[in-house]
Amino acid sequence: MKTWVKVLLIIVAILVLGGLAVFFLGTVKKGGKVSVLASPTSYPQSASDQTGFEAKKSSSYYTVYYHAGDEANADKTLAVLDKAVGELYQKYLGITPPNTQVYLTQTVDEYVKVADFPGGANNVQVGDGSAPNGKIYLYKPFDDPKKGEGVIVHEGTHAALWSFFGGGQGMEKLPGFLNEGLAYQIEFVYRAGANYDPLKEIYFADLLEKGIKTGEPRLMSLAELAKNCEGYISDEIKNGLCRGQGTYTVWYLVKNYGNDVWAKFLADLKTSGDWQKSLEAVSGKNISQLGQEINEQLKNMVK
Ligand SMILES: [Zn+2]
């Protein structure tokens, strides 16, 4: 065989093998079967200093505590939260959180105990989470792929707000329906993009539609929402209105006043301590006018 033919054959062989290698690795990556390749970022692991959790991992903004076997989930949790800081919390809330603790629990009982969850074990489902004290508690966040990442980002919002207002007492400045509304807004933007359809994405949107069309349930005014939506709400309709109207209110202001309207509101509220004044400051309207405007738009969307 002539030398140039040999050289040519070798070059062809290298190209074919290289191509196969790239194809194979790409396939493995897409399938997510090999965790080392599937995980975009692997954060360093160390022994945990928290009782009940064997290991921890940290990024700049979060420390995740987890059990043996949950290492890949800890990596995923950090990746989701870090992305939320860069793309959502800073942009929509004007908040860069300090390092925040996150707990990955493995059983309902552990979740209820560690998170001190007021709803009790009967009200916990796979994929649930909460952030009652500035820390984030998650129960098997990736076992329900529909809820998983959105719930993490939602609870991350509550924790970011908590740190922004300097804890429980500071949080009293922010009415519960806006605290929930902001968390859902961020969750839905993460899930469905900035132009998400509120009637499609908002939980309890059907309740809002029914209220607008038939008057039953009667929708609450902004002042009523601020009064009636604190803490854990067991009444289903009331809970639905608080969360549904809260989210629609937040969505409405972003849509009509711009992406940074809530960052401005939060900065103003931190000093004013008066949510009505701060809402007036960013919208140029008093809360009864604003409330009517919000319900008008809802009416137009429903019909
Ligand atoms: Zn929430």
CATH class of 45-169: alpha beta
- Tell me, what's the pLDDT at 22? 46
What pLDDT score was predicted for residue 152? Answer: 97
The CA 60 to ligand 1 mean position distance, Å, reads 24
Q: Ligand 1 centre from 8 Cα, in Å?
A: 64
How remote is the CA of residue 48 from the centroid of ligand 1, in Å? Answer: 27
CA distance 106 to 72: 14
CA of 151 to the centre of ligand 1 (A): 8
Q: How far is the CA of 97 from the centre of ligand 1 (A)?
A: 17
pLDDT of residue 227: 97
| Ligand 1 centroid, distance to 176 Cα (angstroms) | 9
What pLDDT shows up at residue 150? 96
Report the distance separating Cα 266 and Cα 181, nearest Å.
13
> What is the Å distance from ligand 1's center to 15 Cα?
53
- Which pLDDT belongs to residue 34? 31
C-alpha 49 – ligand 1 centre gap (Å)? 28
- Report the separation in Å between the CA atom of 245 and the middle of ligand 1, taken as the mean of its atom positions: 13
Residue 217 Cα to ligand 1 midpoint, Å, equals: 22
The span from the CA of 206 to the CA of 297, in Å, is 15
Stretch (H or E) spanning 207: helix 205-214
pLDDT in the model for residue 24: 47
Interval between CA 158 and ligand 1 midpoint (Å): 7
CB atoms within 10 A of CB 11: 10
Ordered by start, the domain boundaries in the chain are 45-169, 173-302
CA-based torsion, 31, 33, 37, 41: positive or negative: positive
Of 99, 114, 97, 115, which Cα lies nearest the Cα of 58?
A: 99
- Tell me the torsion sign for CA atoms 269, 274, 275, 276: negative
**What does pLDDT average to in each consecutive run of 10 residues of the chain (303 residues)?**
64 56 43 38 87 94 96 96 97 97 97 93 94 96 90 98 96 97 98 96 96 96 97 92 98 97 98 98 97 96 89
Decide if 75 contacts 152 (C-beta within 8 A). no
Structure confidence at residue 231 (pLDDT) = 86
Question: How far is the centre of ligand 1, averaged over its atoms, from the C-alpha of 187 (Å)?
Answer: 10
